[in-house]
Amino acid sequence: MNKLLIIPSIDIKNGKTVRVVQGIPELNSVEYGNDPIEMALIWRAENAKVIHVVDFDASANISKENLKFIRQICEAVIIPVEFGGGLSTYDEIKETLDAGVYRVVIGSMAYENPKEFQKALDDFTPTKIVAALDVINDEVVIHGRKVHTGIKPLDFAIQLKEMGVRRFTVTDVMRNGMMTGPNVELSKRIAMTTGCKVTHSGGISGYNDLRRLKDAAGELIDSVIIGRALYENRFPCQKIWRVAESGLFS
């Protein structure tokens, strides 16, 4: 029976935890607490095994100020923390990993600066470097999901696999934060075409969506990032990852 790792997301903007709709924090009208470190401790207390942190200030090229929060989160919890948001150089990746982050999720850099991305992949290994595939209408988007690249996600995924990538985080941006249901087929296509592990992101609205993803996932889709649905208590039991990881969806 396939198991699915549930990864709570902490999206940071201006030092606060926010709701992100379609990857655009400016659309948000809701803040989920002022303290990202406290939120990380809450998810750890809820038995989360991994935490996903996104710096939407960095991804919008506004500020690197939130790195201090990343470091504090890593110091506060004893579980792996993965991080994404605006990392565009080898040195920035190294600085983030040195801050205690277990692995980084890279999007724009892999498209715009493949040589530097390759160097980071070779030096830090595919265990530490995950490729982000943010997709709108079957097209990869970058720079805070605002710039369209003209490349299809399957084509880009194949290129990245040939470079040595072994895991993708796949997001249908139009469903991100909308709780309209996951684009399971997109994640499945990436997984089946590349043979790489996939972390699904976007669209989960509650128990039924999670079960649907789990039933369709297969072994390659082994984890799912959930944000808004967890913050808004959309599950019958907020310790939902315990159920998913125990195989009780069978």
Residue 153 belongs to a domain: yes
Mean pLDDT of 94-109: 96
Q: Give the global pTM.
A: 0.87
pLDDT exceeds 60 at position 86: yes
Query: What digits encode the pLDDT tens for the residues 120-165?
Result: 999 999 999 999 999 999 999 998 878 999 999 999 999 999 999 9
Give Cβ neighbours of residue 185 (< 8 Å, ≥ 6 apart): none
Which CATH number is 81's domain given?
3.20.20.70
Give pLDDT, residue 33: 58
Answer whether residue 250 is part of any domain: no
* % residues pLDDT > 90 (the chain): 52
Q: What is the mean pLDDT of residues 183-188?
A: 93
Mean pLDDT of the chain: 84
Q: Which residues are catalytic?
A: 11, 134
**Residue 138 counted as domain residue:** yes
User: Is residue 165 in a domain?
Assistant: yes
**Model confidence pLDDT, tens digit, residues 27-63:** 443 455 568 898 899 888 888 899 999 887 765 444 4
179 part of a folded domain: yes
Percent of the chain with pLDDT over 70: 81
* Residue 19 belongs to some domain of the structure: yes
Q: What is the DSSP string of 96-146?
A: HHHTT-SEEEESHHHHH-HHHHHHHHHHH-TTTEEEEEEEETTEEEETTTT
Q: How many domains would you assign to the chain?
A: 1
- Please state at what angle helix 114-124 crosses helix 90-98, rounded to 10 degrees: 30
Provide the residue range defining the domain that includes 187: 5-244
Q: What is the CA radius of gyration of the chain?
A: 16
Decide if 249 is inside a domain: no
User: Is residue 107 classed as helix, strand or coil in its secondary structure?
Assistant: coil
What are the angstrom distances between the C-alpha of 243 and each of 54, 89, 117, 221, 247?
A: 25, 39, 37, 17, 7
